[in-house]
Amino acid sequence: MLTLAQAARPGGPGEDLVALLAAVCDIESVSGRERPLADAVEVLLRAQPHLEVLRDGDCVVARTHLDRPRRVVVAGHLDTVPLADPPNLPTRLVDGPDGPELWGRGTVDMKAGIAIMLALAADLGRPGVEPTCDLTWVFYDQEEVEAVRNGLGRLARNRPDLLAGDFAIVGEPSDGGIEGGCNGTIRVEVRTRGVAAHSARAWAGVNAIHLAAPVLDRLAAYVPAQVEVDGLVYRESLGAVGIRGGVAGNVVPDACVVTVNYRFAPSRSVDEAEAHLRELFAGFEVVVTDAAGGARPGLDAPLAAAFAQAVLAVTGGSPRPKYGWTDVARFAQLGIPAVNFAPGDPLLAHKDDERVPVAQLAPCRDALRAWLLAGPVDRGVGAVSRS
């Protein structure tokens, strides 16, 4: 197997994005176990003399200093959800209906984006290949878990200067097109309280699991909204993602918890989403366990619009909404326009049969490379530049 440094070398094996993607994926990096991959990424980037490289835990940041009028931040998370059973690693190349596909955990979410970032970080900024903007490459940890552990969030709190820029691209899977903004997410526990008793004398207690039936009924009857925000239509979703209760097979349970996840359009704030859930589950105890606000599309920003045009010209992908939550929301909170862009069908993210078409890899790399070399120049529009 190629090392990342071998696979990403410009003009060498690095031209083979399949080999690079396989090398990235085959370093298993489930959330909380990103260190081996972060170490390999750091070694690769420190070998590039045109990059300043900094490390924060298992987050690696690399920057050019070309004294350009604008700075573009390209960010992607190194972690994946847990492996399937049986494990869907190491990766394997399979003949699909429309050509070769690379199968395995992380191929879609989001190591295809990471592979493109590594290839371009090693390429752009070296002598003779100088982009029209300065670049910041951010490879961060723990995106697939609760928001408080997110590595990009840690940087935003502790080193916001490392994320400064005029525009950001997050390498989340977007099927080769631009996905604008993202839905917000909130998880709550809806709790019921009963009275414990021996199950042989159930009438002496109150079954907390039975008391949760109206919660499930309300969820089953709920019709999620479709909300237009700045020209893109976001589909909301709401559902139970877990239920727990009971201590033994002969005890009437005195407590039950239904965990509910609500993905809400970026026109709502976290507070509004919470209020909506409290109204829906009126009469029940509702406890918020995790929440992150969404981001509006932001495609009206000049740099975002120009990048969307460049992507359309190469991949044919028109802008669409991002239904899941992504870290474009963090950039939005920092006042930096951001979009999602990378190979891979978002519908295959987290699935046991996760796979990416080989044919999507090079066009996405080439679209981003061409725009960075010729696109984000200072034409008197956009945000004030930051370096």
Give the active site residues. Answer: 79, 143
What pLDDT sits at residue 7? 65
Residue 156's H or E segment, with its range, is helix 151-158
What pLDDT sits at residue 136? 98
What integer is the mean pLDDT of 44-67? 97
* Dihedral (Cα; 357, 109, 116, 377), 10-degree rounding: 110
Q: Give tens-digit pLDDT for 232-243.
A: 999 999 999 999
Q: Is the pLDDT of residue 279 over 80?
A: yes
Check residues 52 and 387 and name the one with the higher pLDDT.
52
What pLDDT sits at residue 176? 93
Q: How does strand 167-170 pair with strand 71-77?
A: parallel
Q: Percent of the chain, pLDDT > 70?
A: 93
Decide if domain 4-182+295-374 falls under CATH 3.40.630.10: yes
Q: Is the pLDDT of residue 110 over 50?
A: yes
DSSP 272-314: HHHHHHHHHTTTSEEEEEEEE--B---TTSHHHHHHHHHHHHH
Q: Is the pLDDT of residue 125 over 80?
A: yes
Q: Where are the domains of the chain?
A: 4-182+295-374, 184-292
pTM: 0.87
Overall fold of domain 184-292: Alpha-Beta Plaits (3.30.70)
Q: Give tens-digit pLDDT for 131-182.
A: 999 999 999 999 999 888 999 999 999 999 999 999 999 999 999 999 999 9
Q: Give tens-digit pLDDT for 346-379.
A: 999 999 999 999 999 999 999 999 999 987 754 4
E runs forming strands in the chain: 52-56, 59-63, 71-77, 92-96, 99-103, 134-140, 167-170, 178-180, 184-193, 197-198, 226-229, 232-235, 237-245, 251-252, 255-264, 285-292, 320-321, 338-341, 355-357
Check residues 29 and 309 and name the one with the higher pLDDT.
29
What pLDDT sits at residue 12? 45
Neighbours of 353 (CB within 10 A): 11
Is residue 314 very low, low, confident or very high in pLDDT (cuts 50, 70, 90)? confident
- Residue 140 pairs in a beta bridge with 77
What pLDDT sits at residue 149? 94
Is residue 384 very low, low, confident or very high in pLDDT (cuts 50, 70, 90)? very low
What pLDDT sits at residue 312? 86
What CA–CA distance (Å, rounded) separates 47 from 229? 43
Q: What CA–CA distances, in Å, run from 302 to 268, 309, 313, 383? A: 24, 11, 17, 9
Q: Percent of the chain, pLDDT > 90?
A: 86
What CA–CA distance (Å, rounded) separates 42 from 4? 10
Of 140, 252, 159, 273, the C-alpha closest to 207 is: 252
Q: For CA atoms 289, 284, 293, 28, give the dihedral sign.
A: positive
Q: How does strand 251-252 pair with strand 197-198?
A: antiparallel
Q: Tokens 């796979």 label which residue?
A: 355
Mean pLDDT lowest among 33-42, 52-61, 269-278, 319-328: 319-328
What integer is the mean pLDDT of 18-24? 96
- Residue 168 pairs in a beta bridge with 73, 338
